[in-house]
Every structure is written in structure tokens, then in C-alpha cells.
Homo-oligomer: A and B are copies of this chain.
Amino acid sequence: MNSLETVVSVDEMTIEEHDALFVLTELVRTGRAQTRSDLGRLSGLGRSIVTQRVEEALNLGLLEEADFGVSTGGRVPRTLRFKYEIGTFVVVEFGARNLGVAVTDLAGKIVESVHENWDITEGPEKSLDRVVKMASSLIKQHNLPDVWAVIIGVPGPVEFETGKPVAPPIMPGWNGFDIRGFMLNAFGAPCWVDNDVNLMALGEQAVLKATNQHGTAADNLLFVKVGSGIGAGIISGGKVHRGANGSAGDIGHVAIAEESKVVCRCGQIGCLEAIAGGWALARDGEIAAKESKSPFLAERLKTRGFLSPIDISEGANSGDAYCIEVVARAGRMVGETLATLVNFFNPGMLVVGGTIASTGDLFLAAVRQTVYRRSLPLATRDLRIVPANPNHEEGLIGGAALAQTEIFSRSHMTKWITESSPRAILGH
């Protein structure tokens, strides 16, 4: 018995006339069937209906005939292939101060991605206008087909069902904004909005699954981003856990064990982020620079007038003693909280990313040490603690994976097929 079966409702198990076409194309898309005879065997549908529906799928451009397959006697069958080039996904990732846009095919393969500095506090209209401009330019440049889906990652909680940000602390003006409506208007395509760290978690999962390195470990995965703020993306049983209000993973403001009088930007005292987040390290770094405790940061502060998390990270990488010390300390603090979460969640894989974490092994080693010391042996027996992919594209890859999940759902594809070819449901 596999886990799928336990959640399958009977509705999902029946092929009705109007979605045989969907079932057949899905069998090809997911690599389970390559020939018409595979399709007949796997779907339980008769030969003539398979032939008719495949013909329709070819006409719609969903499938194409590929090389000849291996004959098992008789005529050599032609293999079928899902035409991933028929549509385009637009995937967008907003950070607090940067913006990434990718265009991919329907397999989630990135055709091109561009990144630029962008301040999310510019508000939704201006920010999304910029996205539309960037994506449209990429689409034109590569002469890409219709946009099938738009995915937007934002650095704040999102009500996934409506795609609306919910009281996002660092995104003034975005609360409740209809991002879906905006994108539908711009691209004529459905849009899904998610928390940025959720997309990163999905991206790491997709890469791990594709390379099949760690069995089922990626089915229970935590992605922890230690950038300006601190947040986590949670994969439970292969699926994103978003929680009752879409705020799951919001661990920046958990109370830390250490005595602290530091007031967080949220107003509370003793928040993890107020001690170990990038914004806190930059804040402390400015004082250290002024007090001549860090030559590296003093130089940066003189040149630029302020410090940002990346300065701390670069300082640590360049060997500045102060920066090394605070990054290691941040690693231990984050590790304390993660130890609690490892006991609670028992992940198979803990991925650590973000500006502060991208300091070679320094931050990671501190996290590892603390988690292994403070978690139960069973919870860490098979746990792998690894750095995030260094290419910083995991959010875009995760967005494309989310687009596939949403687009290749039965209801969505059946609707698409119906609209593209009314014949398909009007009986044969």
C-alpha cells in the first residue's frame, strides 16, 4: 500500500468520458506510457477510444510522435512524447531587496532567468509592473509560446487559496493585494502565489528527487533561510505544509533560550531574528565598525554609509575575526531553535540557505554541531544537514515545480482541453 492510495477519493479513480484525453496525456507526460498499446493497457480503455483520443492530443499539440519504439512483434509502434514546449511558465521570486524572473518550459526547465535589485517596499503595482516588463521581454526574446501559469514567491505569509499576502511585515502595501488578478490581466494565465521559502523548499526537493540521491529523505524536508530575516519552508510527506493561515515556517520570532534584552523589529523581546538574523548582524556590525572592532566592516561602512547582511557574510569569508565570531554565534543560536524543530518534525533533510548561511562551512558547522548535540539520537539518525544549492535558483526551480503540480491537475487540464477543443467532450 502506498501513501497515495490512502488519500485517493473514489471520484479520482474513475475515468469519465470527458477526461480520458487528460488521463492518456498524463500517462505519457509522467513517463509511464510511451506507445498507444501502453496506454490501452494502463488505462483500461479500449483500442479505438485510445486511438481517437491520442489523435486529438496530437491535434491539440499536447503530444507528438517521436522515434519508433521497440516492436514486440508486428508493426513497429511509434512512441509518443509530451510536448513540453507547447507552453511557458513565468516564475518570479521577490526578496526584500531583489527580484528574480525566470521563463521555463512545461517541464520546468529554465530557458533564461534574470535577477536585479528591487525594493519590495515599492508596493505591488510598481513591483508587478516590473515583473510583467521583465517576463514579457524574456518571452519576446526567446519567442516563447503562450504563458500557461505564473508563480510568484514573496517574502511574507500568503493565503495560498486566494494568493493574497496576509499582513506581511516587510511588504507595506501588499496586504490582501490581488496578485492573481493582476497577473491574469497581464498574461491571461492563472497565477499562484506562495511564500518565497516554500518555493525554495520545493526547489531543493525537486533537485534531490531528480538526482535521486537520498531516497525518501526529501519527502520530509526543512529549508531554513537565514538572510535578513529567518524563515523556514516545510515539506511534509512530499507536500508543502503551509499551515492554517499560510504562516507556517515563520520562525524568525520564536523566543531564544539565551537571556536577551534586545527589542526585535516585531516589538517583542528575545526573538531569534533580533539576535541571529542578517538585519540584526548588520545593526550590531555598524556599532562594531564604529568601535573599531572590525577593520573589514569599518572600511565598508566608510565607503557605503551603512551595512547590510551581505557585508557580514563577506567579512566572515574574508577572514575578519569579528564577522567570523558573530556568524558562528548566529549559527549556534539558529541551531538551538532548529534542534527543537528537528525533535518535533523529524525531517530527513535540513537545508540551510540565505546570505548569512552562505559563509562556507562556518555557519553550517555551528548549526550542525548544535542540532546534533541538542536533538534526540533517533531524530538525527538519518538526518542530513546540507547547504542550499549555491546557484540561488532553488526558488525559481521550486516555482516551476509548483506550476507543474497546479497546471497538470485533472480539473485544470480537463478545462484546458475542453476550451481548446470543444469536440473533445462532445462525444465520438
Give complex CA distance A411, B3 in Å. Answer: 11
Q: How far is the CB of A215 from the nearest CB of chain B, in Å?
A: 10
Give complex CA distance A236, B238 in Å. Answer: 11
Question: Which B residues are in CB contact (< 8 Å) with A6?
Answer: 239, 405-406, 409
Give the residue name and chain of the B residue nearest to A15 (CB). B14
Give this chain's copy count.
2
Contacting A249 at CB < 8 Å: which of B2, B157, B237, B344? Answer: B344
B241 and A237: CB pair below 8 A? yes
* A210 contacts chain B at the CB level, 8 A cutoff: no
Tell me which residues from 1 to 31 in chain A have a Cβ below 8 Å from any Cβ of chain B. Answer: 1-2, 4-17, 23, 26-27, 30
Stretch from A62-70, A116-124, A370-378 that touches the partner: A370-378
**Binary interface encoding of chain A residues 232-253 relative to chain B, with 1 for a CB under 8 A from any of its CBs, else 0:** 1010111101111111111101
**Binary interface encoding of chain A residues 335-357 relative to chain B, with 1 for a CB under 8 A from any of its CBs, else 0:** 01101110111111100000000
Give complex CA distance A344, B42 in Å. Answer: 42
Question: Which B residues are in CB contact (< 8 Å) with A345?
Answer: 234, 241, 243, 248, 344
**Binary interface encoding of chain A residues 366-402 relative to chain B, with 1 for a CB under 8 A from any of its CBs, else 0:** 0000000010111101110000000000000000000
* A317 contacts chain B at the CB level, 8 A cutoff: no
Give the residue name and chain of the B residue nearest to A156 (CB). B378
Q: How far is the CB of A108 from the nearest CB of chain B, in Å?
A: 15
Question: Which B residues are in CB contact (< 8 Å) with A250?
Answer: 343-344, 346, 376, 378-379
* A128 contacts chain B at the CB level, 8 A cutoff: no
**Binary interface encoding of chain A residues 81-107 relative to chain B, with 1 for a CB under 8 A from any of its CBs, else 0:** 000000000000000000000000000
Question: Which B residues are in CB contact (< 8 Å) with A23?
Answer: 10, 13-14
Give complex CA distance A241, B239 in Å. Answer: 11
Tell me which residues from 156 to 175 in chain A have a Cβ below 8 Å from any Cβ of chain B. Answer: 157, 166-167
Most buried by B among A217, A244, A377: A244
A336 and B255: CB pair below 8 A? yes
Give complex CA distance A301, B185 in Å. Answer: 74
Question: Which B residues are in CB contact (< 8 Å) with A42?
Answer: 10-11, 14
Question: Which B residues are in CB contact (< 8 Å) with A376?
Answer: 247, 250, 253, 266
Given contacts A8-B12, A8-B410, A253-B376, contact A244 B220 (CB under 8 A): yes
Give complex CA distance A15, B45 in Å. Answer: 9
Question: Which B residues are in CB contact (< 8 Å) with A43?
Answer: 14
* A44 contacts chain B at the CB level, 8 A cutoff: yes
Q: How far is the CB of A113 from the nearest CB of chain B, in Å?
A: 25
Question: Which B residues are in CB contact (< 8 Å) with A2?
Answer: 411
Give complex CA distance A2, B232 in Å. Answer: 24
Question: Which B residues are in CB contact (< 8 Å) with A249?
Answer: 344, 346
Give the residue name and chain of the B residue nearest to A340 (CB). B254
A244 and B346: CB pair below 8 A? yes
Question: Which B residues are in CB contact (< 8 Å) with A406?
Answer: 1, 6
Since A216-B244, A247-B379 are in contact, a sample of 9 more A-B pairs with Cβ atoms closer than 8 Å, ordered by chain A residue number, is A8-B8, A9-B30, A10-B27, A17-B44, A217-B244, A220-B243, A250-B379, A256-B257, A266-B376
| Chain A residues engaging chain B, CB cutoff 8 angstroms | 1-2, 4-17, 23, 26-27, 30, 32, 42-45, 157, 166-167, 216-217, 219-220, 232, 234, 236-239, 241-251, 253-257, 266, 268, 336-337, 339-341, 343-349, 374, 376-379, 381-383, 405-406, 409-412
